[in-house]
Amino acid sequence: MIASLRFLTLICILTLPTLLRAQGMTTAPIDQALGRSGQKTGDVYRVSFPRTDLHVSLKGVAIKPGLALGSWAAFLGTDDNAMVMGDLVLLEEELNPVMAKLRSAGFEISAVHNHLMEESPKILNMHYMGHGPATQLATSLRAALSVSKTPLDKPAAAAEEPAPPAWVKTVEDAVGRKGTYKGGVLSYGVPRSDTITMAGMTITPAAGVGEAINFQAADSGNVATTGDFVLTADEVNPVISALQEHSIQVTALHSHMLTEQPRLFFMHFWYVASPESVGAGIKAALSKVQTK
């Protein structure tokens, strides 16, 4: 009896790594296909493609890539049965060539729209979803991005981040939450308190269903803010009112996905003002959303 138990224990020890790999996703082949590595958050592997090639301005504010020019892909599932979803930042002339490449690879396009208004050059955002082997999805995504001017070379090693400027703490104090400062941009990813599902799979905040709010320095001591609030239907108009009461401009309201539950709406915004004013407006809007 003891010998049998030892044998079963040995079998479990030997097979556990294989079982764990089967339940997760191997990221190295994705990195190889995309030419860069990403970041694992829970069950989501997210890879970023910042549009560092673009020089976009809005009413005198030179928009940093981390503020509103970041394409990304979020991989979920297993090596053989994966889902990828994300958002691509594209020039108008890039949109349909990239879309055609994705559709030819079996990807679904779930949304095409603006996130900002009055920016130059004009930027469009395309949301997409694909199903299949993870490496195949990554290879198809890179092929689609290659018909745009999105930088695809392996990014240079990030320089050491300087100490955050004073406005960062002022915004954080006004919002009442600690953010992440990187590349001149203060970012927030605030998870919703409810569970979002799609195609029988739980979609976590890292896959694009958390409140995403960004800030960067503007002129005269002001800061600019943009991003998207992720809202259920009954939250949409209370958030609009909270933003407008603080002079924050709503720039877009739309869906990013097709079959998520509960149904979500994404509200984009823009505002340039003092760090205190910007932070207070965002805090007021967040108070209307069911977040953790």
- Among residues 122, 153, 184, the one where a domain terminates is 153
Radius of gyration of the chain (CA): 21
Does residue 12 register a pLDDT over 80? no
pLDDT interval class at 158 (50, 70, 90): confident
Q: What are phi and psi of 250, to 5 degrees?
A: -80, 125
Q: 186 and 130 in one domain?
A: no
Q: State the DSSP string of 126-144.
A: EEEEEEE-HHHHHHHHHHH
| Residue 13 in this model has a pLDDT that exceeds 60 | no
Residue 14 lies in a domain: no
149 plus 189 within the same structural domain: no
pLDDT tens for each residue of 193-250 = 999 999 888 999 999 999 999 999 999 999 999 999 999 999 999 999 999 999 999 9
Task: Note the pLDDT of residue 159.
Answer: 77
| Token pair of 282 as six digits | 């965002």
Q: What is the mean pLDDT of the chain?
A: 92
CATH of the domain at 210: 3.30.1460
Please indicate, yes or no, if residue 17 is contained in any of the structural domains.
Answer: no
pLDDT, tens digit, 9 for 90 and up, residues 161-191? 889 999 999 999 999 999 999 999 999 999 9
Q: If you average pLDDT over residues 251-269, what whole number do you get?
A: 97
The gap from C-alpha 178 to its chain's centroid, in whole angstroms, comes to: 18
Contact 171, 273 (CB under 8 A): no
**Domains held by the chain: number:** 2
Judge if 134 and 205 occupy the same domain: no
Q: What is the pLDDT of residue 199?
A: 83
And the tokens for 60?
Answer: 């005198």
Secondary structure E strands in the chain:
39-41, 44-50, 57-58, 61-62, 70-77, 82-91, 108-113, 123-132, 180-182, 185-190, 196-198, 201-203, 211-217, 223-231, 249-254, 265-273
Question: What amino acid occupies position 38?
Answer: G
Contact 184, 64 (CB under 8 A): yes
Identify which of 211, 212, 199 has the alpha carbon closest to the alpha carbon of residue 257. Answer: 199
